[in-house]
Amino acid sequence: MSEQQHDSTPVLQANGLVKAFGRVVGLDGCDLELYPGEVLAVIGDNGAGKSTLIKCLTGAEIPDAGRLQVHGKEVRFTSPQSARDVGIETVYQTLAVAPSLDIAANLFLGREERRAGPLGSVLRMMDRAGMRDKARRELTALGISTLQDVTVPVENLSGGQRQAVAVARAAAFGSKVVILDEPTAALGVRESKQVLGLIDTLRSRGIPVILISHNMPQVFEIADRIHVQRLGRRAAVITPQSHSMTDAVAIMTGASAGDKAA
């Protein structure tokens, strides 16, 4: 699969990203490519620059230097909204759901739909029925069967279900890339499996995914390719076929140089 991927234009490409926080180097000339239809895992020790990399890809941080391209076209993001505008959706480590709102309202948070005609344009009335309808269809399309009733407030859901809502929101509305920063860190085994299932569904719908994770078995189970981040740079790109988990840890810690060509 990777040979074919390398022939196509990356959906998202970063070259030479630099980001310093005072004297602390977050990114030190970091590259990344995400190809169509793949799950790219990003692994690395604490402080390796994974979150900073993701923030630069999603407009949450502005890099000091380097280039970003979406489908081969140079972009400069100045805010998370500017990345969302081109279809890059992110689920952050700290879950951004609104607990008191129901599932449907969470899916449409920040892009609520108004009712047709003057009720919407003048009175600003929301199209709740329409949004609930679309929310139901979206959840069904993603194979999320545990969220049948979209009128349930998110605070009544389990951690895994909340994560599913956050992922569904990222995946809905024609997004081109979904980025997940440690989506299963706070979840149990069964709930983690559900989130992995969702990632698989996104891939089968043709939406490429970047998955930041510490969980090596999960990474090796789901990733097509694995970007190993170390000291603010990409130390290697490996695959579950080319390398073992032990190899991956060795590259993460600098015990082995890895193989950039994978």
Ligand X SMILES: Nc1ncnc2c1ncn2[C@@H]1O[C@H](COP(=O)(O)OP(=O)(O)O)[C@@H](O)[C@H]1O
Q: Is 15 exposed, middle or buried (0-12, 13-18, 19+ CB in 10 A)?
A: middle
Instruction: Report 45-104 residues binding Mg ion (CB under 5 A).
Output: 50-51
Looking at the Cβ atoms of 231 and 262, the one nearer to Mg ion is 231
Nearest distance in Å: CB 94, Mg ion: 11
Sites of contact with ligand X (CB under 6 A): 21, 24, 26, 44, 46-52
Contact between 55 and 67 under an 8 Å Cβ cutoff? The reply is no
- What is the rounded distance in angstroms from the CA atom of residue 72 to the CA atom of residue 167? 26
13 binds, among Mg ion, ligand X, none (CB under 5 to 8 A by kind): none
Closest CA to 86 of 101, 75, 72, 100: 75
Tell me, what DSSP letter sits at residue 10?
P
- What is the rounded distance in angstroms from the CA atom of residue 237 to the CA atom of residue 248? 10
Looking at the Cβ atoms of 132 and 233, the one nearer to Mg ion is 233
Nearest distance in Å: CB 53, Mg ion: 9
Which residues partner with 131 through β-bridges?
A: none
183 binds, among Mg ion, ligand X, none (CB under 5 to 8 A by kind): none
Looking at the Cβ atoms of 5 and 52, the one nearer to ligand X is 52
Looking at the Cβ atoms of 48 and 170, the one nearer to ligand X is 48
Question: Where on the chain is the footprint of Mg ion (CB under 5 A)?
Answer: 50-51
